[in-house]
A and B are shown apart, each in its own frame.
Chain A
Amino acid sequence: RKEVEQDPGPFNVPEGATVAFNCTYSNSASQSFFWYRQDCRKEPKLLMSVYSSGNEDGRFTAQLNRASQYISLLIRDSKLSDSATYLCVVNIPTSGTYKYIFGTGTRLKVLA
């Protein structure tokens, strides 16, 4: 099983739609979870961290389900500018420290 898995998509949705992505992780000792956004040929940018209690930032809501080992990202009222690849990142303990592993990414295309 891969350490971090995502549905690659693409998700094609109309403007204004609500879309949700899931990301599963295999290591129950993981402590930190993030969603990043990557535009074509650019470096990834942090979208939001994911906290145990769930957190919201404007149109974006992130949730963590430790029991089932997945995190989710919900985007409400999609905009054309939301079109990008969304990557989940999970930290994995290793040799007394952590490394950060990316999921495969989910492509989102918001259509006019």
Chain B
Amino acid sequence: GAVVSQHPSRVICKSGTSVKIECRSLDFQATTMFWYRQFPKQSLMLMATSNEGSKATYEQGVEKDKFLINHASLTLSTLTVTSAHPEDSSFYICSGLGAYEQYFGPGTRLTVT
């Protein structure tokens, strides 16, 4: 199946700093990518839909100025968590939309201290 990579896989940062997470589709072009967040013992919550070359569409309750999404090419989308706080600690997963299904990255575990 298609491959999506995420970097970094794990990051620990201090409160108030910003963190950038990269999501790359390695063997297919993803016009659309999705960013999800998963808290412990909960399901994946869609944060935003990222379309190449246009602004991301954010879900209700997700602050677009806090979670900056850039989808500058067909193989790369980035999520920047600005001014991170401990409550932003979570598992962030991206996916690229292929012809028939979503392909998920391995996830990035963010811990904000």
Contacts and interface: CB of A to CB of B under 8 A. Distances in A.
Interface string B40-54: 001111100101000
Given A43-B93, A94-B57, A99-B34, A104 B43 contact: yes
A74 B46 CA distance: 26
B42 to A, nearest CB: 7
**Tier of interface size on chain A:** 20 to 34
Contact of B49 (A44, A99, A103): A99
Given A95-B57, A97-B32, A43 B104 contact: yes
Which 7 A-B pairs give the minimum distances between C-beta atoms?
A43-B104, A102-B44, A104-B43, A105-B43, A102-B43, A43-B107, A99-B49
Interface of A: 34, 41-46, 49, 87, 89, 94-95, 97, 99-105
Interface of B: 1, 32, 34, 36, 42-46, 49, 51, 57, 91, 93, 95, 97, 100-102, 104-107
8 contacts: A34-B101, A49-B101, A97-B32, A99-B49, A100-B95, A102-B45, A102-B46, A104-B42
